[in-house]
């Protein structure tokens, strides 16, 4: 796959296509044994190379294998839609577009929840007192006699903030 990409870069499309065909033969031979397949990102990049070389049918094959491994990647579904569209498979392209769109909506909602959690955490941080401040001369100032109480309060608030962050993360993990 790397050789095909190199050939494509130096504008030797025919050589690149020959290397792609050899790579496809290897992938077809070993498609059931994931241990023998190139790493996932390499195969995803290879699918893009195939599309760049107008080898849509090969790209369909590669993307289908990738989606079988990870059907929660919107970029893969979009790549599949592109491969199917180039191959003239409109129905399959539409299905891929729908899957990509649904995943983007799902991720957008997850990010919205994470942004809300960040806002809550930032608001909670306003309650955490500064425990140790640096003086202008570079000497640390521990805030005088009341520092111990402030440290204990900061630890209590920070633990509460940390527990809330873990709850948000645990809730998101359960949703997956």
pLDDT digits (tens, 9 = 90+) for 46-61: 999 999 999 999 999 9
What is the pLDDT averaged over residues 94-117? 89
- List Cβ<8 Å contacts ≥24 apart for 168-175: 168/113, 168/114, 168/117, 172/110, 172/113, 172/114, 175/110
Q: Give the chain's length.
A: 176
Q: Of 20 and 91, which is predicted with more confidence?
A: 91
Tell me what pLDDT residue 18 has.
84
* pLDDT tens, residue by residue, 143-171: 444 445 555 555 555 555 455 444 544 44
In this prediction, residue 96 has a pLDDT band, given cuts at 50, 70 and 90, of very high
- Please report how many Cα atoms fall inside a 13 Å half-sphere around the Cα of residue 24, on the Cβ side: 19
Tell me what pLDDT residue 168 has.
45
Tell me what pLDDT residue 11 has.
59
Tell me what pLDDT residue 155 has.
58
Report d(CA 176, CA 155) in Å as an integer.
32
Q: Is 50 exceeded by the pLDDT of residue 140?
A: yes
Q: Is 90 exceeded by the pLDDT of residue 71?
A: yes
R_g of the chain, CA atoms, integer Å: 26
Residue 65, both tokens:
């294998």
In this prediction, residue 94 has a pLDDT band, given cuts at 50, 70 and 90, of very high
Report d(CA 50, CA 28) in Å as an integer.
15
What is the pLDDT averaged over residues 109-135? 80
Q: Which of 23-32, 39-48, 104-113, 125-134 bottoms out in mean pLDDT, i.e. has the lowest?
A: 125-134
Q: Which of 61-65, 93-97, 151-155, 171-175 bottoms out in mean pLDDT, i.e. has the lowest?
A: 171-175
In the numeric block, the tokens 């504008």 are attached to 11
What is the pLDDT averaged over residues 68-73? 92
Report d(CA 165, CA 126) in Å as an integer.
16
Q: Which residues contact 176 (CB under 8 A, 6 or more apart)?
A: 72
Q: Is 70 exceeded by the pLDDT of residue 127?
A: yes
The angle at the Cα of 97, spanning 70 to 101, to the nearest 5 degrees, equals: 80
Report d(CA 60, CA 58) in Å as an integer.
5
Bridge partners, 134 (sequence order): 140
């Amino acid at each position: 796959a790397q050789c095909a990409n190199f050939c494509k870069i130096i504008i030797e499309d025919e050589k690149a296509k020959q290397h792609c065909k050899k790579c496809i033969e290897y992938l077809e031979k070993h498609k059931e044994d994931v241990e023998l397949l190139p790493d996932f990102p390499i195969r995803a990049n290879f699918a893009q190379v195939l599309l760049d070389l107008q080898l849509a049918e090969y790209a369909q094959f590669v993307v289908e294998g990738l989606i079988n491994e990870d059907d929660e990647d919107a970029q893969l579904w979009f790549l599949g839609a592109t491969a199917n569209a180039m191959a003239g498979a409109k129905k399959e392209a539409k299905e891929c577009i729908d899957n990509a769109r649904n995943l983007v909506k799902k991720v957008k909602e997850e990010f919205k929840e994470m942004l809300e959690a960040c806002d809550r955490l930032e608001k909670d941080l306003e309650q955490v007192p500064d425990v140790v401040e640096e003086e202008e001369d570079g000497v640390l100032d521990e805030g005088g006699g009341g520092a111990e109480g402030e440290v204990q309060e900061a630890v209590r608030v920070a633990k509460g903030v940390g527990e809330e962050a873990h709850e948000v993360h645990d809730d998101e993990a359960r949703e997956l």
